[in-house]
């Protein structure tokens, strides 16, 4: 698959990235204490239907829902179900949409109501890691530059970096190209070029980086039960640097 997108493709993907950003905002605003993650996923699916887009996560290798909803110690791929959302929880809302053969992907972790200082710190640090990773995106840079920036930011703040899951390229498929890891060495790995679109998505843990999986085969959790946070943007490599195609609301609690 050609990772370098044409101007026509970039326009379609940019428009879809703007749409998924508004869907994310509406989804986050729908979160209420006392609701289940399954109820939230149903709301998100209805928003997608209203906007005329498909949620390709549903049915992907048997995944049952349009969104991945990861609460507290869940790192990623949280399967929506009977889990009740409470004040003080943190939740990562990760969504993908598809329209006319183009794909967009975004996620953000927010707190519900009043959250602990520890929770607030890890949410803010994940966003800072994302910012630092994006700063490395330019023609001629390497994926190792992005991973090193994220890893350095997280570890300086006292967090560990998940290695089993990572970002990816996107556009004409949900996952394209080489993995965009959240660790690495400068000037190493795949070299990026103008016209490529990356999903950069730091995943950091409050404790150890080791993880375990629930019996559903999808939900990944911190092995020590401590908090995890992740966030994601789609980033276009431009002639002189980069363009962040998606957007996040600037609040950290709902």
Interval 30-82: pLDDT, tens? 999 999 999 999 999 999 999 999 999 999 999 999 999 999 999 999 999 99
In this predicted structure, what is the pLDDT of residue 124? Answer: 98
Q: What's the pLDDT tens digit per position in 172-221?
A: 999 999 999 999 999 999 999 999 999 999 999 999 999 999 999 999 99
Which pLDDT does position 1 carry in this prediction?
A: 67
The pLDDT assigned to 190 comes to 98
Question: What is the per-residue pLDDT for 142?
Answer: 98
Is residue 204 within 8 Å of 161, Cβ to Cβ?
yes
Q: Note the pLDDT of residue 51.
A: 98
Query: Please, is 5 exposed, middle or buried when counting C-beta atoms within 10 Å of its C-beta (0-12, 13-18, 19+)?
Result: buried
Indicate if the pLDDT at residue 241 is higher than 90.
Answer: yes
Smallest CA-to-CA distance from 242 within 140, 166, 105, 168 is with 140
Per-chain mean pLDDT for the chain = 98
* Burial (CB count <10 Å: 0-12, 13-18, 19+), residue 229: buried
Q: How far is CA 77 from CA 63, 103, 244, in A?
A: 9, 18, 23
Q: For domain 7-244, give the CATH number.
A: 3.90.230.10
DSSP 125: H
Domains in the chain: boundaries: 7-244
Helix (H) or strand (E) holding 21: helix 7-29
Q: In what order do the strands lie in the sheet with 90-99?
A: 67-71, 90-99, 102-111
- Give this prediction's pTM: 0.97
Q: Which of 67, 106, 68, 74 is nearest to 89 (CA)?
A: 74
pLDDT tens-digit readout, 125-166: 999 999 999 999 999 999 999 999 999 999 999 999 999 999
Find all residues with CB under 8 Å of 68, minimum gap 6, and list them. Answer: 57, 76, 77, 78, 79, 92, 94, 95, 107
Paired tokens of 127: 């966003």
| Lookup: tokens for 172 | 């004409």
- pLDDT above 90 (res 251): yes
**Alpha-carbon gap, residue 32 to 9, rounded angstroms:** 37
Give the CA distances from residue 109 to residues 11, 58, 176, in Å, rounded to whole numbers and listed in that order.
27, 21, 24
Backbone φ and ψ for 32, nearest 5 degrees, come out as: -135, 140
Q: What digits encode the pLDDT tens for the residues 88-132?
A: 999 999 999 999 999 999 999 999 999 999 999 999 999 999 999
């Amino acid at each position: 698959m050609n990772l370098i997108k044409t101007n026509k493709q970039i326009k379609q993907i940019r428009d879809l990235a703007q749409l998924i950003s508004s869907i994310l905002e509406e989804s986050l605003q729908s979160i209420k204490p006392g609701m289940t993650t399954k109820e939230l996923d149903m709301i998100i699916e209805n928003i997608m239907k209203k906007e005329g887009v498909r949620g390709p996560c549903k049915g992907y290798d048997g995944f049952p829902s349009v969104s991945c909803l990861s609460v507290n110690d869940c790192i990623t791929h949280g399967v929506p179900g009977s889990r009740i959302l409470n004040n003080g929880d943190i939740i990562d809302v990760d969504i993908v949409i598809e329209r006319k053969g183009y794909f967009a992907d975004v996620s953000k972790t927010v707190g519900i109501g009043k959250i602990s200082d520890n929770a607030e710190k890890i949410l803010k640090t994940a966003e800072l890691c994302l910012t630092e990773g994006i700063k490395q995106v330019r023609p001629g840079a390497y994926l190792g530059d992005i991973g090193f920036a994220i890893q350095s930011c997280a570890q300086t703040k006292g967090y560990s970096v998940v290695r089993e899951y990572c970002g990816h390229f996107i556009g004409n498929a949900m996952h394209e190209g080489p993995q965009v890891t959240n660790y690495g060495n400068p000037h190493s790995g795949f070299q990026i070029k103008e016209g490529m679109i990356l999903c950069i998505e730091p995943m950091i843990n409050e404790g150890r980086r080791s993880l375990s999986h629930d019996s559903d085969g999808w939900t990944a959790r911190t092995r020590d039960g401590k908090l995890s946070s992740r966030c994601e943007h789609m980033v276009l490599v431009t002639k002189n640097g980069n363009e962040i195609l998606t957007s996040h609301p600037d609040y950290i609690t709902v």
